[in-house]
Amino acid sequence: MNFFTPIVIAELISLIIALIFLFKDNISFWKVNIAYLIIALSAEARGSYLSAHHRHNVGLFNTFVLFEIAFISYGMYYCLKKYTNPRPVIFTGLGICYSIFIFFTFKNGIHAYNDVFNDNTVSVMSLIFVLYCLYYYYKLLNDDEVLDLKHHPEFWWVNGVLFYYFGGTAINLFYGLFNILIFEHIKLRLFIYYIINIILYSNWIYSYICRAKQRKLLY
């Protein structure tokens, strides 16, 4: 199996662009993006490496889910706080996600941490993030201020999240349906997963560029 999967490539490009455009940003959320991309890239690269050597990588991705929940929740908190006090919503979401994670980790057994993927957490997390995105759009549309959405970094960041987790929810719901081979070694499920990852990182890259432009205009 090739080490440089489309996801690794997308994450690598994202990380490079984030380093170029966000390194000097004085808003912590944008800087945290760099840290998250480093973690995501490391996890994905390590996962690919383990997979290439026919070793289990499930434990790695189970751990990564914990970071993913925290980062996306933090991002949504940052985007929503301009319109409302998002603490109750975000903390409820975090509570639900982590509770489910802990519950299923213990239910499956600690010894199975490296063998059984915590897909229940991922399903619930995806649904919650989609709802966050819809809530963000609702607040955005009801706000009195009219934004130039074409160049609004938060809007594009949330768009990426929506595409990715909506796609992710669809994959989780129709798991069996997408289990067919479309290329020699690639299942439809994996192919869609590649596509939604590329969409996610494309949106995020664009949002980083918008953020750099915005910062230039502001300071």
Partner 1 sequence: MPLFLIIYIRSYNRHKKNHLLEKQHMQQKFEAEILQARIEVQDQTMQTIATELHDNIGQLLSLTTLTLNSVNINDSEKAEKKISDSLSFINKSIRELRELAKLLHGEQVVENGIGYALDQEVNWLSKTGAYEIEVNNSLVDLIEKSPDKDLIILRLLQEIINNIIKHANATAITFNAYYEDKTLHLQVKENGIGFNYEQAAAASSGMGLNSIYKRIEMINGKLVLNSSPNHGTNILIEIPYP
How many positions of this chain bind partner 1 (CB under 8 A)? 11
Site for partner 1 in 164-183 (CB under 8 A): 166
| Distance set, CA 205 to CA 8, 12, 37 (Å) | 15, 11, 11
Length of the chain: 219
Binding of partner 1 at residue 159 (CB under 8 A)?
Answer: yes
Q: Where are the alpha helices (DSSP H) in the chain?
A: 6-22, 28-52, 58-80, 87-108, 119-142, 153-173, 188-218
Binding of partner 1 at residue 43 (CB under 8 A)?
Answer: no
Binding of partner 1 at residue 117 (CB under 8 A)?
Answer: no
In the block, residue with structure tokens 């991705």: 61
Query: Is there a contact between 96 and 75 (Cβ–Cβ < 8 Å)?
Result: no
Binding of partner 1 at residue 140 (CB under 8 A)?
Answer: yes
Binding of partner 1 at residue 197 (CB under 8 A)?
Answer: no
Q: Which stretch binds partner 1 (CB under 8 A): 2-10, 48-56, 120-128, 133-141?
A: 133-141
Query: Is there a contact between 155 and 149 (Cβ–Cβ < 8 Å)?
Result: yes
Among positions 137, 151, 191, 202, the unique one binding partner 1 when judged by CB under 8 A: 137
Residue with Cβ nearer partner 1 (110 or 141):
141
Residue with Cβ nearer partner 1 (48 or 172):
172
| Distance set, CA 75 to CA 27, 36, 69, 81, 158 (Å) | 12, 11, 10, 10, 8
Among positions 101, 163, 193, 201, the unique one binding partner 1 when judged by CB under 8 A: 163
Binding of partner 1 at residue 37 (CB under 8 A)?
Answer: no
Q: How far is the CB of 79 from partner 1 (least distance, A)?
A: 14
Residue with Cβ nearer partner 1 (148 or 184):
148
**Distance in Å from the first CA to the final CA of the chain:** 47
Distance of CA 56 to the CA centre of its chain: 22
Q: How far is the CB of 148 from partner 1 (least distance, A)?
A: 8
Write out the residues near partner 1 by the rule CB under 8 A: 137, 140-141, 146-147, 149-150, 159, 162-163, 166
